[in-house]
Structure 1
Amino acid sequence: MSEINLYHASVPVFIRYLNQIELLLDKAKCFAISQSMEEATLLVAGLADNMFPLGQQLSTAIGFSLRACCPLARQDIKNYHPESVSYDNLHKQIRETRCYLEQLRPEQFEGAEGLSIATTAGFAELELAAGEYLQAYMLPNFFFHYSMCYAILRKMDCPLSKQDFDGFHQYPMGFSF
């Protein structure tokens, strides 16, 4: 992997997409209310029986931001995983995670390029160079779980667009492909 600034390639990216996750969660809650759904109905929805449901996908994506940044900043991995999955608890997990990430400083990542980081991928035990750890493992896993959240909500007919996912795209009301 080419040498990158590990702080700038991680912390600001995760903070930006934690903000998008929070917006997605707000839209999901509003959608559930508008459809007279129980709070748990969306949070337990999934794409397949053997995949995490929405609430777990959200919590896992949020957790990957800490699993990525803490070792790169030479910190123990923080865990704000809620005891129970609810809209309020997921919002709390986002806030605590974002607050922690906002306190990290670029200096903490200096020289981290030379680190070898041990982690697990399912049942596999990995030892990865810091750049590979971030670029080839952590970022893709974060975006995998975040994408699953978007896909589950779309499957449940929650009205979302690509703008809701990335915050960049814009489409007129009622636009469809």
Structure 2
Amino acid sequence: MQNPVPFFTHSLTAFSKILEKAEAFAEAKKLKPEVIPNLRLIADMLPLWRQVTIACDHAKGASARLAGLEVPSFADTETTLAELQERIAKTIAFIATIPAEAFKDAGARTISVKAGPRELSFPAAQYYHGFAVPNFYFHMSTCYNILRANGVEIGKTDFLGA
């Protein structure tokens, strides 16, 4: 199985730059620091701050699980864009510590994850392609859509990264 770290690092780095644009937007509009992190796409969806933390959790979780490592726990206490930037940086820093050779036997692993009250178990490829990556992109896309819907000037090239 291919090393997922470069993929997650690229996408999280692109999203960090999107959050920089959101911060500039908030400053220009003189918004309080807690406004943007608490925006929602629709009332029954999670706010931006939670979408970011979940996306980071999928990146660090998939990277660790596929490498056969323990997934580190990060407290979900971010309330500002600066704290969300720290969460992204902490996630990138963690996954960067995983050596590429740790993924050599990843395809042979069975991955188990807790999803609410359920315990899910997948062959590694199914977990990565059918669970981790789709969830990662769902939460990243939702963050993008929350910001775009609220006037932050971002586009597809921002989401895709350089």
| Structure 1, 143-152 or 95-104: larger mean CA deviation | 95-104
Letter in 2 for 1:58: V
Please tell me whether residue 155 in structure 1 is matched to residue 158 in structure 2: no
TM-score normalised per structure 1: 0.86
Q: Find the partner of 1:67 among 61, 64, 70.
A: 61
6, 10, 28: which is aligned to 1:12?
6
Does residue 1:126 correspond to 2:120, yes or no? yes
Question: Is the 1:118–1:126 Cα contact (8 Å) retained in structure 2?
Answer: yes
TM-score scaled to structure 2, two decimals?
Answer: 0.94
Indicate the SS of the match to 1:120: strand
Q: Secondary structure at the match of 1:55?
A: helix
Q: For structure 1, which runs of at least 5 residues remain unmatched after alignment? A: 169-177
Given residue 2 of structure 2, which amino acid in structure 1 is its aligned partner? L
1:42 alignment partner AA: I
Map of 2:22 onto structure 1? 28
Shift of 1:124: 3.5
Give the CA deviation at 1:122: 4.0
Task: Tell me by how many angstroms 1:79 deviates.
Answer: 2.5
For CA contacts below 8 A with separation 6 or more, give which structure has more relative contact order: 2
**Alignment match of 1:104 (pick from 98, 106, 117):** 98
Query: Alignment partner for residue 107 of structure 2, among 87, 99, 113?
Result: 113
**1:138 and 2:135 matched:** no
> Does the 8 Å CA contact 1:66/1:97 hold for their aligned counterparts?
yes
Note the 1:156-171 alignment, pairs <5 A: 156-168=150-162
Q: Deviations over 1:132-164 (max 9, x none)?
A: 111110000000000000100011011111111
Partner SS, residue 39 of structure 1: coil
CA distance in 2 between partners of 1:24 and 1:79 (Å): 25
Cα distance, 1:123 vs structure 2: 4.0
State the Cα distance separating 1:52 from its structure 2 match: 0.7
Alignment partners' CA distance in 1, 2:46 and 2:117: 16
Letter in structure 2 aligned against 1:98: I
Residue 95 (structure 1) aligned with residue 76 (structure 2) = no
- Report the count of equivalent residues: 162
Give the number of the structure whose residues are more often helix, by fraction.
Answer: 2
Percent of counterpart pairs with the same letter? Answer: 28
Provide the rounded CA distance (Å) in 2 between the counterparts of 1:106 and 1:31.
Answer: 38
Give structure 1 regions of 4+ aligned residues with deviation exceeding 3 angstroms. 121-124
Q: What residue number does 1:174 align with?
A: none
Alpha-carbon RMSD across the aligned residues, in angstroms, is 1.4
